[in-house]
Chains A and B, each alone.
Chain A
Amino acid sequence: MQQILKPVKRFFRKYGVAYAFIAVPVISMLLFIFIPMAISFYWSLCDFSGIQAPRFIGLDNYIKLFTVDKIFIQALKNTLLFVVLSMFIGPTLGLLTALMLNQKVRFQGLFRTAYFLPVMTSMVVVSTIWKMLYNQNGIFNTVLTNIGLSPVNWLSDPDMALISVVIASVWQGFGFETVIFLAALQSIPKELYEAADIDGANGINKFFSVTLPSLRSVITFVYIYGLIGSFQTFDQMYVMTKGGPVYRTTTIVLYLFDKFQDLRLGYASAIAYVLFFILVILSFIQWRLPGSKSTEA
């Protein structure tokens, strides 16, 4: 007995502390990430209401999602449109404002605070405020009618609602990109610009030959982080539109939430897995993208 215990004891004396230090995160990771992930994959192949035991039905949920369920297809389209619009506008605004703030501006901190303030405000708060601004009789429409234009049905026009939500979301989020781009701009070595000056480059030349290449890894980060986040959009729609009008602002996660509330847990799990597969494919594309290695340093 002693013989067997000795190496075990020595092992724990040597490594016990390290295992103790990582114990809670590892257990937590198993309990709250990997095990639930396996369970929900199984449920996604089941008819499961949460009351009776799950009944295995193979790929039926997935087939139904992509063939019969028009609302889910709409939710996919909405989410994709939301992602494309906000990922196009947000980082562009972020870069432009960061470039402006980088021009040795006075009160730089003050401007940065203005852009960043909404970033740390909860999305629920931001959405509540914008819902009031977008009100039929809200400030936007009052100003429009006072200067002689016709009011806009910001959140009730099916063709406008998603754009309105995008505007509010970009307003909330682009300050994050401003701050990140500004920090990255400030870390570009001055010598690079001096060398470009000697070569006789003008402002636009310098932007494309020095600034943009230096920002490459940060741009990749901003897009990956932003894509993952905006594919999971939920709060804005929940507060501002509840997915309407006519499901035109229903996102993948909002639809998942609805199905969860309806106790269609198998179906909801399948929706979660579709979202997961989309993110996996995106990560894979990013990983294979030329130049993405620089982000790992």
Chain B
Amino acid sequence: MRKIQKITGRTILYIVLIVTSLIMFVPFYWAITSSIKMEQFIFASPPQWWPSPITFKNYLGMLQRVPGFPRYFLNSVLIAGAITLAHVFFDTLAAYAFAKLKFPGRDAIFFMMLLGLMIPFQVNMIPIYRILSSLKMVDTYAALIVPNMTSIFGIFLMRQFLISIPNDLLDAARIDGCDELGVFARVIFPLTLPGLATLIVFIFMNAWNDFLWPRIVLNSDKMLTLPVGLAQLQLKNTSNEAQIMAGTVLTMLPMILVYLFMQKQFIEGMTSGAVKG
């Protein structure tokens, strides 16, 4: 009797899991298949669950109507890449100073950072925009990269990883004649690689998906990032859903591929803040 109960329980569990997973999957499926359907079948009733005939005309049509699309891709790669590199460098160095070095004012500055973490970006957005525009920096890569070269969140995250490295190890390196930069490069850096992977994934994803600030600070077509370009695409042709879906698929594909290859880092990046505290 108990066994039957257990088997039905397991069956129900798997059914619920499969159904909910399908709910997660269907919108992606529908977006991808819509992008390779003939435009007139997009809203067909009954729905065309499998595209027939399969066509790539929407992709060509989208690229013709929005010739800048490959450029958006390049912009996104360059901007998110530069931001990530800057974070790796500056966040880690600062985190090292906060975790392992003693200097006057350390706790006060750290406390200031804690306060800074609470301030929503929207409060600072308008003055930053005005400052950048008076420096003629609006509508450039720099407008996106310069204000986002380091983050308090990234410093806190890396500090958590660095604090767990034993001080004896650092002292040994110092006795062997390493200066602080040498200690950092030879001892700290190799030991924090898992932490770094987490930081990279987190920062890259946020930079890649960011919308509000790029939307505000970028105007000309050749500067847009993928999310802004995708939003603009919808203003340009509201009627052609098939082409919009082609643009959507091209926008989401790189991130999904990166995720599938770096799943472990993604999951750790998202959970480390919460579970480790």
Contact = CB atoms under 8 A, between A and B. Distances in A.
B131 A36 contact: yes
Interface in A131-169: 131-133, 135, 137-139, 142-143, 145-146
Interface of B: 13-14, 16-17, 20-21, 23-25, 27-28, 30-31, 34, 42-47, 90-91, 93-94, 96-98, 101-104, 106, 109, 112-113, 116, 118-128, 130-131, 147, 149-150, 152, 155, 179-181, 205, 208-209, 211-212, 215-216, 226-228, 230-231, 234, 241, 244-245, 248, 251-252, 255-256, 259-260, 263, 266-267, 270-271, 273-275, 277
A8 interface: no
Contacts of B125: 36, 260, 272
A183 B272 CA distance: 9
Contacts of A269: 123, 126
A75 interface: no
B259 A117 contact: yes
A208 interface: no
Interface size class of A (residues with CB under 8 A): 35 or more
Contacts of B119: 33, 37, 276
B122 A179 contact: no
A123 interface: yes
Identify whether the interface residues of B are mostly helix, strand, loop, or mixed: helix
Interface stretch (A17-25, A64-72, A78-86, A189-197): A17-25
Residue from A120, A123, A217 whose CB has the most chain B CB atoms within 10 Å: A120
A129 B211 contact: no
Contacts of A265: 126, 130
A33 B126 CA distance: 11
A100 B16 contact: yes
Given A17-B101, A40-B123, A132-B31, A28 B150 contact: yes
Contact of B275 (A39, A176, A187): A187
Interface in A81-137: 97, 100-101, 103, 105, 109-126, 128-133, 135, 137
B152 A179 contact: no
Given A120-B255, A128-B234, A128-B245, 9 more contacts: A21-B96, A105-B17, A114-B24, A118-B28, A121-B209, A124-B230, A135-B241, A180-B270, A183-B271
A239 interface: yes
B17 A111 contact: yes
Interface of A: 15, 17-19, 21-22, 24-26, 28-29, 31-37, 39-40, 43, 50, 97, 100-101, 103, 105, 109-126, 128-133, 135, 137-139, 142-143, 145-146, 171, 175-176, 179-180, 183-184, 187, 217-218, 221-222, 225, 228, 231-232, 234-235, 238-239, 253, 256-257, 260, 265, 268-269, 272-273, 275-276, 279-280, 283, 295-297
The 8 closest A-B pairs by CB, nearest first: A122-B209, A36-B127, A36-B124, A137-B43, A114-B21, A21-B97, A18-B103, A124-B227
A113 B28 CA distance: 13
A234 B228 CA distance: 13
B181 A139 contact: no
12 contacts: A29-B113, A37-B123, A40-B123, A97-B17, A126-B27, A129-B27, A129-B248, A142-B43, A183-B274, A183-B275, A275-B123, A276-B119
A206 B189 CA distance: 43
B97 A122 contact: no
Contacts of A118: 24, 27-28
A22 B31 CA distance: 45
A129 B123 contact: no
B28 to A, nearest CB: 7
A238 B216 CA distance: 13
A122 B204 CA distance: 12
Contacts of A103: 13
A135 B43 contact: yes
Contacts of B267: 112, 116, 179, 183
Contact of A123 (B90, B101, B211, B241): B211
Nearest to A228: B120
A114 B20 CA distance: 9
A49 to B, nearest CB: 12
A232 B226 CA distance: 21
B248 to A, nearest CB: 5
Contacts of B274: 180, 183-184, 218, 221-222, 225
B21 A115 contact: yes
Contact of B256 (A117, A187, A225, A228): A117
B127 to A, nearest CB: 4
B176 to A, nearest CB: 17
Nearest to A97: B20
Nearest to A268: B126
A234 B149 CA distance: 23
Contacts of A128: 230-231, 234, 244-245, 248
A50 B14 CA distance: 59
A37 B124 contact: yes
A111 B21 contact: yes
A265 to B, nearest CB: 6
Nearest to B205: A120
A184 B275 contact: yes
